[in-house]
Amino acid sequence: MVDGAVLTNILSFGPVFLLIAARAMGMLQTVPLLSSEAVQPAARFALAGLAAFAVLPTAEVFMAANSPGGLVTLPGGTVSDLRYEVFSLRFALLVIGEIIIGIIIGFYITIIFAAFSTAGQFFSLQMGFGASETFDPVAQVENPLMGQYFNLISMLIFVTIGGFHQLFLGGFWRSVQTINIISLIEGREHVVMMLASGLSRLFLDAIIIAMPILGTLFLTSLTTGLISKASPQINILSEGFPISIMTAFLLLFAALPFMIESFTRVIDYGFNNIQTLYTQIGRQITGGV
């Protein structure tokens, strides 16, 4: 039976399967959309197990031809057979390390999406929505309405452009092929640089996305202020909020196609950074996703 063959394959590579599943679970617990409370924990566990089983034959950083249970290279060049490490403290540390790798992948994807939410927060106050913070079920934080709107648009774009395909193939599968916790520790400088550059890029991308609307709203406020100063009998400041809201919505309607292109470039740039990290700290592989 197929189910029996699947179970036999998992048991034959049990230690490696557990390590890969731990990495997948760490990623699913932090990656946007899939980490939402709307997704049941049982579904995440099932998806982590399916992803681990799918990439198990290509987990070359753990396995060798003469060891069906899996091999791992420890610091100092020592090679350990995972079949005899399952109930040891060393294997527990390896599982924790794999969870950390998954968390790093998911956290970096979260940084990418935070740029869109931050862009909406930049001009929410100027357009009169500064006091409209509510709980965002997607980002799972308090977020102004425009931040939630941009976050929802980014999620839709992520699904439309095949973001889950890139996440599981370009992000998760490539990581299983190239890196383990030992290579992550040895290349920690590259990891820190990637996360730091991602945080700095977050604010840069947010400013670039929000600047057309933010600049126009600034000019609108300046114009209404000058008119009110020149003609005090015209109480135009009382109409400032409706004018700002109407102007912002008109700009969003006109600029949304260009923003979608910007969102796509930001997402692709983030996945390219992850691929670059794998080539810097992991083993070299051939072929493409």
Span 73-85, pLDDT tens digits: 444 444 455 555 6
Is 50 exceeded by the pLDDT of residue 287?
Answer: no
Span 224-272, pLDDT tens digits: 777 777 776 666 666 667 777 788 888 888 888 888 888 888 888 888 8
Is 80 exceeded by the pLDDT of residue 107?
Answer: yes
Span 185-230, pLDDT tens digits: 888 888 888 888 888 888 888 888 888 888 888 888 787 777 777 7
Backbone angles phi, psi at 71, to 5 degrees: -120, 150
Is 80 exceeded by the pLDDT of residue 71?
Answer: no
User: For position 83, what pLDDT does the model report?
Assistant: 53
User: For position 19, what pLDDT does the model report?
Assistant: 85
